[in-house]
Amino acid sequence: MTIEQSDHSTELTEHPDRFPNPGLPPHRPRLGDEDPKAAKRSERLVLLLFTVSVLASIAAIVGYFAIPVDPEAGSMGNTHLSTLIIGLGLGLGMLGIGTAAIHWAKSLMNDHDKVEERHEIAGDAQTRSTAIEMFNEGAKDTDIARRPLIKGALGGALALAPLPFLVPLIGNLGGDWDISRFKRTAWAPAANGDRVYLATDPTNRRIKASDVTIGSLFHVMPWNLPEHPDYLDEKAKAVVLLVRVDPQDLKETEERASWSYDGIVAYSKICTHVGCPVALYERETHHLLCPCHQSTFDVTDEAKVVFGPAGRALPQLPIDVDENGYLVAQRDFDEPVGPSFWERER
């Protein structure tokens, strides 16, 4: 609110925390206000930025389809390139809309100075109708009716911008909703009955029980999994953490007494909360921690949850050793790995 000059001394004496209203600086017209050519240049720039957004969104969608991620090819190159193009497309798509809107507002929309009265609380009917008036006035100020090209470009950019988010989502989820595949992993014995060896992730070396010292932690996957046709999908389900503790520390139920080998226990690495990889091991407390929301599992007590939002223990992989001392899985997990909701039937 403007404070009249004659009231300054009284205002300042009674309210020392107030200061005189300095008023608005003199209005300075922009280049485009006085020069139609400059306004045209700004309009072209806004159009260009919206067009960049449209092209970037299209590039992200094309990149998703044109660069298929093919784990069978045994290379991560495609995955990196596909992710890079989709990410750049999404980023430039959003950036184009944002910069175009800012430049449009700063260089082409009406540039009147306006004073907004301060008030203690908002929300009475008068305020709301004033807000609606201002909104309508603002819409008029965009001058969009006189700029059909910008209107079209804005519509195109806004319409395409969500697609780079939606297309991969639909592409990945569409079609195959068979959740039974979440109930089996590559630890299941082969068709000929051969059990699956535990191997280091990612170096794919078989592990001897004697390699696993007390307190050590191994990131483990089924041996030779990289040769599987669905390597990445299968690995996402089968990753395991292998830990050795003093056998006397293990609190095993009778049912699980044969699931460990001389203090060596194996648990799914996929958090039962929302599926982050559990990767932190506290040797002193025997706790496994999930870095996402701090769910904590007790390795000595069948990986039961001792803290955090996870709803159930980490599934345990029953293990054994072969005649040469190499660790093998006795069979697949007895329950689905990962977030608990996969247990439910649709």
| Interaction site with ligand FES (CB under 6 A) | 271, 273-276, 290, 292-293, 295, 308-310
Nearer to ligand FES, 225 or 271 (CB): 271
* Shortest Å distance, C-beta 294 to ligand FES: 6
- How would you classify the pairing of strands 280-282 and 319-321? unpaired
* Shortest Å distance, C-beta 309 to ligand FES: 6
* Shortest Å distance, C-beta 290 to ligand FES: 3
* Shortest Å distance, C-beta 287 to ligand FES: 13
CA distances to 100, 233, 237, 267, 284 from 313, rounded to whole Å, are 51, 22, 16, 9, 20
Q: What 8-state DSSP symbol labels residue 218?
A: E
* Shortest Å distance, C-beta 272 to ligand FES: 8
- Cis-peptide, bond into residue 277, ω within 30° of zero: no
Question: In the structure encoding, which two tokens stand for residue 335, read together?
Answer: 């329950």
Q: List beta partners, residue 288.
A: 281, 297
Q: List beta partners, residue 281.
A: 288
Q: Which residues contact 263 (CB under 8 A, 6 or more apart)?
A: 214, 244, 245, 246, 247, 249, 250
Nearer to ligand FES, 49 or 240 (CB): 240
Nearer to ligand FES, 54 or 243 (CB): 243
Nearer to ligand FES, 314 or 329 (CB): 314
Nearer to ligand FES, 82 or 295 (CB): 295
* Shortest Å distance, C-beta 133 to ligand FES: 48
Nearer to ligand FES, 89 or 338 (CB): 338
254-260 contacts, C-beta under 8 A, 24 or more apart: 256/302, 256/316, 256/318, 258/318, 258/320, 258/330, 259/316, 259/317, 259/318, 259/319, 259/330, 260/319
In a 13 Å sphere around the CA of 218, the CA atoms on its Cβ side amount to 28
Nearer to ligand FES, 297 or 333 (CB): 297
Nearer to ligand FES, 211 or 335 (CB): 335
Q: How long, in residues, is the chain?
A: 346
Nearer to ligand FES, 56 or 290 (CB): 290
Give the distance, in angstroms, between the CA of residue 122 and the centroid of all CA atoms in the same chain: 37
Burial pattern 280-318, b for ≥16 Cβ within 10 A else e, equals: ebeeeebbbbbebeebbbbbbbbbebeebebeebbbbbb
Question: In the structure encoding, which two tokens stand for residue 166, read together?
Answer: 């939606």
* Shortest Å distance, C-beta 186 to ligand FES: 22
Q: List beta partners, residue 217.
A: 243
* Shortest Å distance, C-beta 282 to ligand FES: 15
* Shortest Å distance, C-beta 145 to ligand FES: 50
Give the span between the Cα atoms of 102 and 109, in whole angstroms: 10
